[in-house]
A and B are shown apart, each in its own frame.
Chain A
Amino acid sequence: MRKSLVALTLAAAAVPMLIGVAGLPRPGDGSAPAHTHVVARYIAEGAQETGAGNLVTGVLLNYRAFDTFGEVMVIFAALAAVMAVLMPAAPSRPAGTPGNGTGGLQVSPVVAFIVRLTAPFIAIFGAFVIFKGHVSPGGGFQGGVILGALLMLLSVVMGRGMQAPLVPVRLARWLQASAPLAFAGVACLGLALTGTLLGYPAAPEMALVRELMMIVLELGIGIGGAAIILGLFLAMRGD
């Protein structure tokens, strides 16, 4: 009974979707709606207008910066919600048994050494992806996730009862909020320069200012992303 109901629902979902995709333009067709309308202009003039050779970053931080503002608010709100759900329960458990590694799970010295050895290179790669994100593949989110993964690796190796956290808790809160703060700052700068929120000055001699605003956004998103990923990990681990 239950299985037939599941099969029926799956068929009811799949058949309309299959009929729908059968009527779509062929993937790769240059005249499909995904390549006309605004996209043609983005490709033709985006690099000059935004100063970002990587058009995806240009769309993300310039043409559709409000979307990205909403997106960083979503992930920041997710961190806040995760902390609200998990943090009240944290004091009830014995706070990190010092000297016990990762709480029963001992990390092999080889793994610990290799992680420490590669850490600076991973950090440099993450910073490169953040700072060159507007002219080469990469961007704030990608670089932030690389840095966040590095911090997670390090916190696994360093064990649960980290006596001295990497950054003080009060500073960590500000770092986690750095993406929305960077957006708010750039939005107000845009308001002062052009009269619209998140407006980028269009004059050719302001190209440096445009690029600088974009780097500030990338940096805020990158640092905020790394701090939020680490915060999520630590909250779920119960630190």
Chain B
Amino acid sequence: MAGLWQNIDYAAFVALFCIGLYMIMAKQNLIKKLLGLNIMETAVFAFIVTSGMVDGGNAPIVAPGATGPFASPLPHALILTGIVVAVSITALALSLIIEIYRQCGTIEADELKGAE
């Protein structure tokens, strides 16, 4: 329990992740499901970026006036890649939702199940 209190930042990201998971499972609207997926992605990104933080650390930009300690640049670079992939997923999912709406006239998952 002491470990959980010390890592309360990480616990907050677990809560955020669960909010997104709840949206994916409980909501019927496909756009809301996609929003839930984005919230889950955000939770993961925030978790990994936070792990790269260091006490009293500066941004990892080495310039003449800058002094250490520097935050770890590796999680930032990985998450930059992750954000771009998340944007790609969102764009593709949105375009599929648009096409579903054009073909079926609804984006509610339960109505789509009845329509097939």
A interface residue numbers (CB < 8 A to B): 3, 6, 9-10, 13-14, 17-18, 21-24, 26-30, 32, 34-35, 38-39, 42-43, 46-47, 53-56, 58-60, 64, 67-68, 71-72, 74-75, 77-79, 81-82, 85-86, 89, 135-137, 139, 141, 232, 235-236
Contact = CB atoms under 8 A, between A and B. Distances in A.
Given A34-B74, A39-B72, A78 B14 contact: no
Given A14-B18, A236-B98, A34 B73 contact: no
Contacts of B4: 18, 21-22
Contacts of B25: 6, 9-10
B88 A32 contact: no
A232 B61 contact: no
Which secondary structure dominates chain B's binding surface?
Answer: helix
Contacts of A89: 99, 102
B49 to A, nearest CB: 10
Nearest to B25: A6
Contact of B73 (A9, A43, A77): A43
B62 A46 contact: yes
A106 B65 CA distance: 50
Contact of A23 (B3, B99, B102): B3
B77 A59 contact: yes
Given A28-B55, A55-B61, A55-B73, 18 more contacts: A10-B18, A18-B4, A18-B11, A21-B14, A23-B3, A27-B7, A27-B10, A27-B53, A35-B72, A43-B60, A46-B73, A56-B76, A58-B73, A60-B81, A67-B78, A75-B85, A75-B88, A85-B95
B11 A27 contact: no
Interface of chain A, helix or strand or loop or mixed? helix
Interface residues of B, number: 54
Contacts of A32: 51
Given A24-B10, A28-B54, A46-B62, A13 B18 contact: yes
B109 interface: no
Given A21-B10, A27-B9, A135 B51 contact: no
A225 B33 CA distance: 26
Contact of A34 (B6, B70, B75): B75
Nearest to B88: A78
A57 to B, nearest CB: 8
